[in-house]
C-alpha cells in the first residue's frame, strides 16, 4: 500500500510536461493579477519562494519583480520542467529545490515573498504548511496564495471534492474562503486583498492531463449525472462533463515582531 507522498510522485512525475504546457496552469487572470500586485511593491523583492511550484508558472510570472526565486517541489520531474521553462524564457533568476511544504528546508525570515498556486489542495498538513510559510517569511513580507476554492454549500462541496478525488488520488481537499482565513489568522497573516475568478474546466483535457483511468472517468460522469439540480447548477455542469471551479487569490502580509 502506497503512502500519500508516493501517490503524489506517481501522479505528477510522469505528467510534468503536460503541466508545463497546460492552458489552465500557464495562463489565467490570477497570474495577471499576481504580476500586478508584485509590480505595486516598492523596488525589487530580494528573494521569493514558490511552494509546490509544479511546472513553475507562478515563478515565471513573478520573476521580473524578484531578485531570486526559489521554486520548491517534491517532484524531480516537475523541477526539471521548471528548469526547461525558465531557460526557454530567459529567466536566470529562478533556481529549484526539492522539498515539501510541511517542512521547508530554509532558515527563519529568509524570504521577502512566499507564494503557492494550485498546490495546497495536495498537502496533507495544511495548517503546518501555512505556519512554515510564515516562519520563513520576513516580518512585513508578503504571501500570495492561489488555489481552487471549495464551495460553501456542503452538498455542492461533497460532490466537488468527490470529483477531484476520483480524477486524482493525490487530492486531499480544496478549502473554503473561511477555512483559509482561519489558517491565516493563526499564522500571523493579515489579509490585504482577496479576488476570485470562475474557471471553466474542459472535461476531456482535465482527465487526460492526469491520465485518469476509464473506470474513474465513468464514476465521475455517473456522479455528475446523478447529482441533484442544485449541484449541477452551482458547478455549471455541461453535457460533456465540463464544469466551472472558482480560483481564489489571497494577498497577505506577515505581522511584524511583537
Look at residue 93 in the predicted model and tell me its pLDDT. Answer: 94
Q: Which residues pair with 191 in a beta bridge?
A: 252
Q: Comparing C-alpha atoms, which of 61, 105, 96 is closest to residue 75?
A: 96
Q: Is residue 184 part of a domain?
A: yes
Query: Collapsing DSSP states into helix, strand and coil, what is residue 148?
Result: strand
Q: Please tell me the distance from the alpha carbon of residue 241 to that of residue 201, in angstroms, as a whole number.
A: 9
Q: Is residue 163 part of a domain?
A: no
Q: What is the CATH number of the domain that holds 97?
A: 3.40.50.150
Residue, of 228 and 40, whose pLDDT is higher: 228
Query: Could you read off the pLDDT of 184-231 as tens digits, one per residue?
Result: 999 999 999 999 999 999 999 999 988 999 999 999 999 999 999 999
Q: Is residue 174 part of a domain?
A: yes
The answer to whether 133 touches 32, Cβ cutoff 8 Å, is no
Q: Is residue 235 part of a domain?
A: no
Q: Is residue 204 part of a domain?
A: no
Cα–chain center distance at 63: 17
Q: Is residue 232 part of a domain?
A: no
Query: Could you read off the pLDDT of 1-20 as tens digits, one per residue?
Result: 666 565 565 565 555 455 55
Q: Is the pTM here over 0.85, yes or no?
A: yes
Domain that holds residue 39: 4-151+170-199+246-254
Average pLDDT, stretch 227-240?
Answer: 98
Torsion of CA 182, 113, 11, 214, to 10 degrees: 60
Average pLDDT, stretch 123-131?
Answer: 96
Q: Is residue 66 part of a domain?
A: yes
Q: Is residue 95 part of a domain?
A: yes
Cell of 245: 471551479
For the chain, the domain total comes to 1
Amino acid at each position: 500500500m502506497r503512502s500519500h507522498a508516493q501517490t503524489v510522485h506517481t501522479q505528477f512525475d510522469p505528467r510534468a510536461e503536460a503541466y508545463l504546457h497546460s492552458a489552465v496552469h500557464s495562463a489565467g487572470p490570477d497570474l495577471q493579477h499576481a504580476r500586478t500586485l508584485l509590480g505595486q511593491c516598492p523596488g525589487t523583492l530580494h528573494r521569493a519562494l514558490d511552494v509546490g511550484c509544479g511546472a513553475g508558472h507562478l515563478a515565471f510570472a513573478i520573476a521580473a519583480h524578484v531578485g531570486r526565486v526559489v521554486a520548491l517541489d517534491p517532484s524531480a520531474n516537475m523541477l526539471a520542467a521548471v528548469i526547461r521553462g525558465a531557460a526557454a524564457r530567459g529567466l536566470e533568476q529562478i533556481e529549484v529545490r526539492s522539498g515539501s511544504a510541511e517542512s521547508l528546508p530554509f532558515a527563519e525570515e529568509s524570504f521577502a515573498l512566499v507564494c503557492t498556486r494550485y498546490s495546497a489542495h495536495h498537502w496533507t498538513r495544511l495548517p503546518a504548511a501555512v505556519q512554515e510559510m510564515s516562519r520563513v517569511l520576513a516580518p512585513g513580507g508578503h504571501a500570495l496564495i492561489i488555489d481552487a476554492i471549495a464551495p460553501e454549500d456542503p452538498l455542492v462541496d461533497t460532490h466537488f471534492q468527490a470529483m477531484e478525488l476520483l480524477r486524482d488520488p493525490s487530492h486531499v481537499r480544496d478549502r473554503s474562503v473561511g477555512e483559509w482565513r482561519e489558517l491565516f489568522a493563526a499564522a500571523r497573516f493579515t489579509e490585504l486583498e482577496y479576488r476570485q475568478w470562475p474557471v471553466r474546466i474542459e472535461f476531456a483535457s482535465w482527465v487526460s492531463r492526469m491520465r485518469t483511468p476509464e473506470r474513474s472517468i465513468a464514476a465521475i460522469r455517473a456522479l455528475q449525472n446523478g447529482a441533484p439540480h442544485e449541484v449541477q447548477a452551482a458547478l455549471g455542469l455541461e453535457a460533456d462533463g465540463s464544469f466551472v471551479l472558482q480560483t481564489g487569490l489571497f494577498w497577505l502580509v506577515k505581522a511584524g515582531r511583537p
